Amino acid sequence: MMQAKVNYLMGLILTCTFLLVIFPLNSSADVKVIISGGYEKISSFNEKKIEFISLSELAATAGGRLDWSVVGHKISFKSENARFEFLVGSPYFRLNDTTHNLTFPVTLKDGQLFVPAERFLPYLDRVSGRRITWDSSRREIRIDSEYFNVTDIAFSSKANGFLVELFLTTALPYDVLVTEGNWININVRGGTVNRSRIISRKDRRFMYNLKAEQLENNTAQISVRFKREIKTWNHKIVQNPPRIQISIADANFSFDTTKHIAPVGPDNKIDVIIVDAGHGGRDNGAIGQRGTKEKDVCLAIAKKLAKLIRKDKQFKVIMTRDQDKTVSLEQRAAIANNSGGDLFISIHANASPKHSVRGWNVFFLAPARNDSARSVAQLENSYFLRERSTLGTHMEQAEQTDDIDPVLSILNEMIMTEFQEESHDFAMMADREFRSKLKIPARGVDQAAFFVLNKVYTPSVLIEAAFISNKTEEKLLKDKKYQQKVADGLYRAIKRFKSKYESK
């Protein structure tokens, strides 16, 4: 009955246009958002001891996108895989397909959407790939993967069975339950799970599914559905490092090891930076209305970035090209992987059939979430498709090879997910720097499946510095001062990345 009333109320609210409620403000100040080794400040105000924060500015700082509908003042906020829908003046909102109550109505002030921090942030934390916490006494929001105490999971085949290891930062109480369908469920009380890291360990060679959930009762739940029946098993907690071990006694419980997949990724130091100037040689990339070639702009920015990195003396920089020459996809990946690169940065300029489209983007490797990201990936990938066609190697043939060779397919999936969290983190750092330095529209952080990143065994991003198809931004891309600003932003992001990850 209560749910019916709530549904009726939501339906009534969403179909009506009503007067915008603007609250009298008692005080106004900034809230600190601690993220990626630094911090930003976002607008807030306090009304009757309730702290309201600007979701508009939080989205710009931490990622996500606001979509506005003037009729009825309906506003949606897309964050990672979740969608929030608000109506100004109402405390009710929808998270995906479920209605919730914030107790206090959301409101507009100076063109920004404000939400009650203490009530909203736990919902955002629940669906985020990172840990989000609110400290009301310090008036701080923390967004950081380092808060996780259930950090990773590993699987290994043994002579007499199979071993599952769930890694913790400290010993925590837990229980293990095997349920119908060959599921092993691990509940860690007091656990905060790094969902994106654990889900990235999914391996279709021996499992159907892998889930990681943060439950409301302060419990982390990790569930693995294996392909083989689980009959005899036991578990224990061990130290150095703290981890839960689940041993499955089954001599036939193994996966194909006929082709060894070497460990991938950087060492414990962040000191080798790969700078990839997009396109080059016979591949011009996109060409602006005034004839500016993308390959030339990319190389100019790449050289400026390399100069900054070399001057620092903390890093070794390797360029995939330092002149106007053709470098294949395979050559770019080989340069990065053979040099032991710790970070791969591919520099590009965007293009659109609509010459009015403007702004910069930072991408990391993952399946595209929207049409905009998908179109950028298709544009950049098209150059490599033409390259392969010229060499007589068609993409269709490569896809057929992947289907025939399951190990290669698994390896490709591992590459896409292995450093997804670190790549996303660096993308967010670059995003923050660009927002302060580049005075053109911010299109933010997004994800897409780029060929140039797909074979690189290290955290990697692709940046689109501006739209070369837009006359104003084409002029900017040729400007040495703008090129330097892009390089400066990337360099500062590299420093942040080193500070955060090298200390672990």
Contact 294, 440 (CB under 8 A): no
Rounded-to-10 torsion of CA 236, 241, 242, 245 = -30
Q: Mapping DSSP to helix (H, G, I), strand (E, B) and coil, where does residue 466 land?
A: strand
CATH code, residues 2-146: 3.30.457.10
CATH for 272-501, options being 3.40.640.10, 2.60.40.10, 3.40.630.40, 3.40.140.10:
3.40.630.40
Helices and strands (H and E) in the chain: how many? 13, 26
| Summary mean pLDDT of the chain | 78
Q: Is the pLDDT of residue 250 over 50?
A: yes
pLDDT: which is higher, 279 or 205: 279
Contact 464, 452 (CB under 8 A): no
Could you tell me the two tokens for 47? 């009304």
What DSSP state is assigned to residue 1? -
What's the pLDDT score for residue 37?
58
pLDDT: which is higher, 228 or 164: 164
How much of the chain exceeds pLDDT 90, in percent? Answer: 32
Tell which residue, 197, 189, 198, has the closest CA to residue 170: 189
Contact 78, 67 (CB under 8 A): yes
Could you tell me the two tokens for 438? 């580049």
- Is the whole-model pTM more than 0.85? no
Q: How confident is the model at residue 410 (pLDDT cuts 50, 70, 90)?
A: very low
Query: What's the rounded Cα separation, in Å, for the pair 286 and 47?
Result: 51
CATH class of the 148-249 domain in this structure = mainly beta
**How would DSSP label each residue in 61-78?**
HH--EEEEETGGGEEEEE
CB burial of residue 5 (10 Å; 0-12, 13-18, 19+): exposed
What integer is the mean pLDDT of 216-236?
89
Annotated domain spans of the chain: 2-146, 148-249, 272-501
CB under 8 Å to 220, separation ≥6 — which residues?
150, 187, 188, 191, 192, 193, 212, 213, 214
Q: Which residue(s) pair with 95 in the sheet?
A: 84, 98
Q: Is the pLDDT of residue 68 over 50?
A: yes
Percent helix, strand, coil in the chain (nearest 5)?
35, 35, 35
What's the pLDDT score for residue 298?
95
